Amino acid sequence: MDRLLDESSESSLSAINSLALDYSDNLGGPQASPVLPIELEREIFDTVAYLHSEAMPSLLLVCRRVYDWVTKIKYRTIGPSYIPSCCSFHELERGILSMSKPTSFFRDRVRHLHIPWGHRVEMRELLSTCSSVTALAVMIVLDPSVFSGLSVLRPRRANLALTSLLNHTNLCRSLFSCTTHLHDLDMRTFESNPTTDRWLSFLSLLPALTHLAAPMSPDLVPLVFASCKTLEILIYIQSFLGPSPFKEPDRFTDDERILYMIITWDYAQNWVTGVQGGTDFWVRADKFVAMRRRGQIKPCSRCWIEDEDGI
């Protein structure tokens, strides 16, 4: 096993494919009894599937129980096709619309759902089918026609543009009832206006929210904390295409919960890394705030991450 995980990608894949075929032959059929203790067998196949996603087609052919284990990993994270550690959104979409599998198949497997730009077809059905997601990223502006599909979701992490949802209090109350981490993807900067009032009212509906990232006017920061009593970290976040947020670096020096960030990384890859347990911008924010509280950030008024911080 260690040898398989240490080899180069090409030779490792060849070895895994060979192992899968040999193992399948030795089992003697799709329902055959395990050769190894079942817990060890599952750990082996799960580990190989996680570390070598390109080997999944071969692993799916071993036997029924391995198929069930591997599909739970294959469909766990749905993202862009160029990220090898996740199933592509197109494949999920085809699987659901073809009705080749029961809806329970996807409900029981999809946990992290990233919907890329330009995908609006059958969104309501897709969302309602993936009702067990714990992390949701929607890169399109949501149309009211999909709200009924959204209403069944209870993500703990949500990344989406909020403007179209602000007039739908009941939907927001249910959809975000378990959300701890929220990134508002609206591209414009929130300033004082009626939309802002609705946005602040929306924040007051979120009982579990601890982390918020959003573009906003600095004047709104005190109002955000007043609206959301549970908030632990507020990230003043902007696209790298926008203006610099560092015009007034000393403005919030007395509040260690505030952090400035400019998005300069591959957003989808960062999201996938985070939902799969790696270091994303939320983790970096947590580490920075902790370092700032320990007095490790110099000067102490700095509210953004520098390379020297090592995070």
Q: What is the pLDDT of residue 4?
A: 44
Domain locations in the chain as residue ranges: 1-74
Q: What is the pLDDT of residue 5?
A: 43
The token duo for 228 is 């959301």
Q: What is the pLDDT of residue 29?
A: 54
Q: What is the pLDDT of residue 14?
A: 57
Q: What is the pLDDT of residue 76?
A: 92
Q: What is the pLDDT of residue 31?
A: 54
Q: What is the pLDDT of residue 138?
A: 93
Please state the φ and ψ torsions of residue 19, each to the nearest 5 degrees: -60, -45
Query: Could you state, in chain order, the average pLDDT of each consecutive group of 10 residues for the chain (311 residues)?
Result: 45 54 52 72 83 78 86 90 89 89 92 83 84 94 86 96 88 94 81 80 95 87 93 87 56 80 87 94 97 92 91 93
pTM of the model: 0.83
How far, CA to CA in Å, does 235 sit from each of 190, 204, 211? 13, 17, 8
DSSP string, the chain: -HHHHHS-HHHHHHHHHHHHHHHHHHHTSTTPPPSS-HHHHHHHHHHHHHH-GGGHHHHTTS-HHHHHHHHHHHTTEEE-TT-TTSEEHHHHHHHHHHT-S-HHHHHTT--EEEE-TT--TTHHHHHHHTTT-SEEEE-SPPPGGGHHHHTT---SEEEE--GGGTT-HHHHHHHTTT-SEEEE--SSPB-SSHHHHHHHHHHTT-TT--EEEE-B-GGGHHHHHHH-TT--EEEEEEETTS--STTSTTTTTT-TTEEEEEE-S-HHHHHHHHHTTS--HHHHHHHHHHHHHTT-SSSTT--B--GGG--
Q: How far apart are CA 83 and CA 68, in angstroms?
A: 22
Q: What is the pLDDT of residue 214?
A: 92
